[in-house]
Amino acid sequence: MTNLRPLAAALLVAFATATAHANEIVAFDDANAARPQAPVVPAMLTAAVSAPAAALDRMPEVVERALGLIGIRYKRGAASIEAGFDCSGLVAYVFDAVMGLTLPRTTYEIARLGTDVAKGDLQPGDLVFFNTMRRSFSHVGIYLGDNKFVHAPRTGYKVRIEDMTGPYWTARFNGARRIETAQK
């Protein structure tokens, strides 16, 4: 069977980019607490990603859920749609919602889970870690494919997609981990 990972990753990134731009125009105010709805993944994308099901497992669902949170505000220590997210709260929320996994609350503790993944072997759904506070593993995001990841950046910003090849993220990349569903 042909390996569909590159095609799946490209489709996920294209979908993520379109979703990110669509959610940018949604107005948020505390009075109405409007939130973007989770995107509907086209059947073609779901079929392409699900083909090598044993290898990709439930990562397409992780990516889909994370993309549905684009536009939610950052709030330190928060881990819900209503309150907002910090980086580790976003990751913990997504993995709990999709896989029923309860992850630790800090990026440093999350970075000790799963298996180490080389930058060249990243797959959608892997966790990517950065040194953003002058200490290793101080920031985490969910890899989307094509060097893109989704994360909750910092106070004053909202959950969004970033490109890991930019100078800021390249200089701060600490590593990546793959969380296996068997860790339930």
By three-state DSSP, how is residue 83 classified?
coil
pLDDT confidence band for 126 (50 / 70 / 90): very high
CA 172 – CA 167 distance, rounded (Å): 9
pLDDT at 97: 95
Model pTM greater than 0.85? no
Confidence (pLDDT) at 155: 95
pLDDT at residue 33 tops 50? no
- Alpha helix segments (H runs only) across the chain: 5-24, 43-50, 53-56, 59-67, 87-99, 107-110, 167-172
67 and 17 in contact (C-beta within 8 Å)? no
Gap between the Cα atoms of 144 and 124, Å rounded: 4
Describe the crossing of helices 87-99 and 59-67 by its angle, rounded to 10 degrees.
Answer: 130
pLDDT, tens digit (0-9, with 9 covering 90-100), for 145-163 = 999 999 999 999 999 999 9
**CA nearest neighbour of 131 among 72, 83, 172, 85:** 172
The residue segments making up the domain with residue 33 are 5-183
Mean pLDDT (the chain, rounded)? 77
Structure token pair of residue 180: 């296996």
CATH of the domain at 50: 3.90.1720.10
Return the structure tokens found at 30: 């505390």
Q: Name which of 8-22, 61-75, 93-107 the model is least confident about.
A: 8-22
Supply the pLDDT for residue 181. Answer: 60
Give the span between the Cα atoms of 169 and 73, in whole angstroms.
Answer: 21
Name the domain count of the chain: 1
Give the pairing type, strands 84-85 and 79-80.
antiparallel
CA distance 102 to 92: 7
Residue 101 has pLDDT above 90, yes or no: yes
Q: Which residues are the active-site residues?
A: 87, 139, 151
User: Is there a contact between 39 and 68 (Cβ–Cβ < 8 Å)?
Assistant: yes
